[in-house]
Amino acid sequence: MMNYDTGSEEWKNWIISERSFNKKYLGKCESIMVLGNGYMGVRSATEEAYIGEKRNTFVAGTFNRFDQNEVTELPNAADLIQLDIEVNGEVLDLTKGTIHNYNRQLNLRTGELCRSFTWVLTSGEEYDFRFKRFISLVDLHLIGQKIEIIPRNCNSSIKITSGINGQLTNSGVQHFSEGDQRLYENKYLQLVQTTTESKIDFLMNMVHNFKINEQIFTPESMIHMDRRKIYFHFDTSVNKGQTLMLEKISTIQTSRDRNLGNISLRELKNISYAHLKKQSSKGYETLFIESVKAWETRVWKQYGMEIESEHEFDQLAIRFAHYHLTIMTPAHDNRMNIGAKGLSGEGYKGHTFWDTEIFILPFWIYSAPKTARSLLEYRFFSLSGAHKKANENGYKGAMYPWESAWLDDGEVTPVWGAADIVTGEQTKIWSGFIEQHITADVAYAVRQYFQVTNDNEFMNEFGFELLFDTAKFWCSRLEWSIKDRQYHINDVVGPDEYKEHVNNNAFTNYMAYWTMKNALAYAHLLKKQKQSIFQKLNAKLNLTKEMLKWEERLELIYLPKPTANNLVIPQDDTYLQKKEIDLTKYKEQDEVGTIFNDYNLEQVNEIQVSKQADIMALFYLLEDYFSSEVKAANWNYYEPKTLHDSSLSLSIHSVLASDLGDSNLAYRLFKKASTIDLGSNMKSSDHGIHAASLGGIWQCVVNGFGGIRVLEGQLRIEPKLPENWSKLVFPIYWHGDRLKVVITKESVIIENITKENKRIEFLNHENLYILIDKITIQHNHSEK
Ligand code: BGC
Ligand code: BGC
């Protein structure tokens, strides 16, 4: 069905394609071929409709809450893509007649989605169809479509219905009230829809232009308006061998668009109509070329990578990750963040998780620091929501929501989830209440950003406050245990969500400790070196008093240690005492979560089984806290018990395998992670792509194989290429400089391209190197 080696020559390893149509698997290509630009994302449903399709149009940050019983979600706005086509009375439908030469493909380099086939009807009539579409990376509001129909052996009466359809819902939930519809100049369609609770106006505009054999031509047309829908019926005759071409240009703007400022709906209508009119006059090809150039300069030249591998797929996989990381990220607006499914599906409701900070952000930090900063500013601006959550729970400081949407929403995790096979009721989702490590993850990301970029301005304005406010939360969260005279963190869910209501989850305790320790160090530093900032934050957060408390409590936080006999760190207070069962069946699954076919969550809670990396994630983040022996012993203990039921699991395991010196295992895990979306499983991406995993794939390559790491502010470059790779080239930004890293079997070459800094220090196998211009280090550790 899917083909990942279609491209050749200049398109080699740039193309993903579907070579036959199967209506059972519509979700696969809708998701993995989704188009977007960070402002919007449009699932790649086919032009003609099929039962079971998911037609989604999302605009980042336009959250709405349908009612009090549901959580805020990203609404599914009006569809602009669908076209109903009729040729000589037959409605285009790929399940009828015969299809030849079917190909649907996404070109990752240009961001264009193309589909072509010959349709042979039972009557013997034959038609060629070609569809193209793109979403502009230059004009964030613009979608272009081009459709060509050629009757090969007959004259044909062709009818097309096309327009703006606001009848869509989020799985039944209608987030919009009916708005105005209008036709301008007998040509330009406009539909307004307004979200019911957040009152965001969406302005959708569309124009159609036809040609026959390259000659502009106006078919007969009839305008229709319906509930939440405005559309044209076009009617025309096309002779045998002629090409009917339709160019459809659409735009979306909303009242949340920052560049529009505070304007009235009337003005917004005029602006958006004028915008469409101006842009569409350029035509599909010109608009498309503009976008292709932006892909080339802003994406591929900026952070493209070169991989020489025995398996061509590896290069494609990293490009696929780059493509999606680009289109999922609302880099244009620091009030917005990335959803766990990007903008590619309704899964996780457009909400932001720790997926951003721990899995996706490293890519941005090292590849485009400005975008990383924007994503962290979002966390700063959502402090109000974090304060609200802390308050509601009786804590101090900033307690970040497990799931986050609009800035001041606070916690938006739904409360009820999947079916409980034992009770028949819905399972309660505890993560919104007690999965608290997110608050440390955000702090961790801030420091990582600072260390890699040295962006003092960000820290002074946002970063330090965020570090102190999160430490304040953890300090208030600690619980004194009279029994062992230490501070505990009880009743949490750690990263491993198959263990609920546990005490002293190692990941959570260590990361809380780290947050407080790091905050304390920075607070002392500010007090000495940046008096005015210290004073400002002291006034706001009562720092002087907090610092005393942090100092006093830090060393009393209980940090689970490796057990003497086997070096295993207890994941929480009770994990190691739980029963062990044979997990082979669930480990070898193609689908995730099959253990729930046999047990409910309560029962899973009592088994030594993990959903995903937990202690392993801790080893990755705080690598210098643990020795290699401890890491290896825990890998051997926990990995066999980990089902990798979350897509966040494999990439962390891969980076750790690299750290532990097993590049072949690291490679196998990287490969597995890259096939989560880009593999042969036709159902795994139905609800959307796996954003964190795509960021994780980048980390497997750069932090794992490339061996890039920052440790206490020190850059380390220690590559470990997998056996079947002969070359890896990638850029990283370090303290504002762009470095080019070239790794081969023999050596690593690091070059400073921008040379803002005169010297860059880095470590390689415990040797300190100073990079001025270019440096070559042989893998046997000698410098050339
Ligand atoms: C996830 C949680 C999430 C919940 C609700 C579960 O499947 O594991 O992390 O909070 O869904 O979105
Ligand atoms: C995982 C979480 C993750 C969430 C969103 C869940 O299944 O367990 O760690 O944050 O999905 O991707």
Ligand 2 pocket test, candidate residues 328, 337, 353, most atoms within 8 A of CB: 353
| CA of 72, nearest ligand number | 1
CA gap 133, 135 in Å, rounded: 7
Residue 590's pLDDT is 84
Residue keyed to tokens 């394609």 = 17
3 state SS for 308-330? EECCCHHHHHHHHHHHHHHHHCC
Ligand 2 pocket test, candidate residues 348, 497, 498, 676, most atoms within 8 A of CB: 497
Helix (H, G, I), strand (E, B), or coil: what is residue 56? coil
Burial 600-632 (b: 16+ CB within 10 A, else e): bbeebbebbbbbbbbbbbbbbbeeeebeeebbb
Ligand 1 pocket test, candidate residues 72, 171, 348, most atoms within 8 A of CB: 348
User: Which residue's CA lies nearest to atom 1 of ligand 2?
Assistant: 646
Helix (H, G, I), strand (E, B), or coil: what is residue 401? coil
- Pairing relationship of beta strands 90-91 and 83-87 according to DSSP bridges: antiparallel
In terms of phi and psi (left: phi > 0; alpha: psi -120 to 50; beta: otherwise), the region of 450 is: alpha
Among residues 497, 500, 546, 639, the one annotated as catalytic is 497
Report the largest interatomic distance among the alpha carbons of the chain, rounded to a whole angstrom: 89
Distance 179 CA to ligand 1 centre (A): 34
Residues with CB under 6 A from ligand 1: 348, 402-403, 413-414, 417, 429, 431, 497
Cβ(355) – ligand 2 distance below 6 Å: yes
User: Which residue's CA lies nearest to atom 9 of ligand 2?
Assistant: 495
At the topology level, CATH places domain 2-261+278-300 in: Beta-galactosidase; Chain A, domain 5 (2.70.98)
Cβ(507) – ligand 2 distance below 6 Å: no
- Here the tokens at position 174 are 């209608």
- Here the tokens at position 218 are 């106006």
User: Which residue's CA lies nearest to atom 7 of ligand 1?
Assistant: 417
Cβ(352) – ligand 2 distance below 6 Å: no
Ligand 2 pocket test, candidate residues 430, 431, 646, 685, most atoms within 8 A of CB: 646
Distance 73 CA to ligand 1 centre (A): 14
Distance 143 CA to ligand 2 centre (A): 31
Block means of pLDDT (10 residues each) for the chain, 784 residues, are: 89 96 96 98 98 98 96 98 98 97 98 98 97 98 98 98 98 96 97 98 98 97 98 98 98 95 94 98 98 98 97 97 98 98 98 98 98 98 96 97 96 94 93 98 98 98 98 98 97 98 98 98 98 98 98 98 97 98 93 94 97 98 97 98 96 97 96 95 95 98 98 96 97 98 98 94 96 94 64
Ligand 1 pocket test, candidate residues 73, 353, 413, 643, most atoms within 8 A of CB: 413
Residue 784's pLDDT is 58
Residue 468's pLDDT is 98
CA gap 646, 683 in Å, rounded: 15
User: Which residue's CA lies nearest to atom 11 of ligand 2?
Assistant: 646
Contact 242, 150 (CB under 8 A): yes
- Pairing relationship of beta strands 306-309 and 156-165 according to DSSP bridges: unpaired
Index of the ligand 1 atom closest to the CA of residue 351? 12
- Here the tokens at position 519 are 């905050």
Index of the ligand 1 atom closest to the CA of residue 353? 9
Index of the ligand 2 atom closest to the CA of residue 353? 10
Count how many Cα atoms sit within 13 Å of the Cα of residue 429 in the half-sphere of its side chain.
15
Cβ(134) – ligand 2 distance below 6 Å: no
Distance 652 CA to ligand 2 centre (A): 13
Cβ(429) – ligand 2 distance below 6 Å: no
Residue 408's pLDDT is 92
What is the CB neighbour count within 10 angstroms for residue 197? 14
Index of the ligand 2 atom closest to the CA of residue 645? 7
CA angle at 704 for the pair 568 and 678, rounded to the nearest 5°: 105
CA gap 85, 235 in Å, rounded: 10
Residue 589's pLDDT is 87
Residue 782's pLDDT is 67
| CA of 437, nearest ligand number | 2
Cβ(402) – ligand 2 distance below 6 Å: no
Provide, for the chain, the percentages of residues in helix, strand and coil under a 3-state DSSP scheme, each rounded to the nearest 5.
35, 25, 40
* CA-wise closest residue to 612 among 661, 645, 660, 659: 645
Cβ(354) – ligand 2 distance below 6 Å: yes
* CA-wise closest residue to 128 among 148, 114, 145: 148
Q: Is residue 497 annotated as a catalytic residue, yes or no? A: yes
| CA of 429, nearest ligand number | 1
Residue 545's pLDDT is 98
Residue 287's pLDDT is 98
Cβ(340) – ligand 2 distance below 6 Å: yes
Which amino acid, residue 510?
Y
* CA-wise closest residue to 655 among 599, 713, 579, 706: 706
Q: In 567-719, where does DSSP find H-type helix?
A: 584-587, 601-604, 615-621, 628-638, 649-659, 663-678, 691-699
Distance 320 CA to ligand 2 centre (A): 21
Residue 260's pLDDT is 86
Index of the ligand 1 atom closest to the CA of residue 646? 8
Distance 415 CA to ligand 1 centre (A): 9
| CA of 401, nearest ligand number | 1
Distance 635 CA to ligand 2 centre (A): 21
Distance 639 CA to ligand 1 centre (A): 22
The string of DSSP letters for 516-568 reads HHHHHHHHHHHHHH-HHHHHHHHHHH-HHHHHHHHHHHHTTB------TTT-P
Distance 761 CA to ligand 2 centre (A): 36
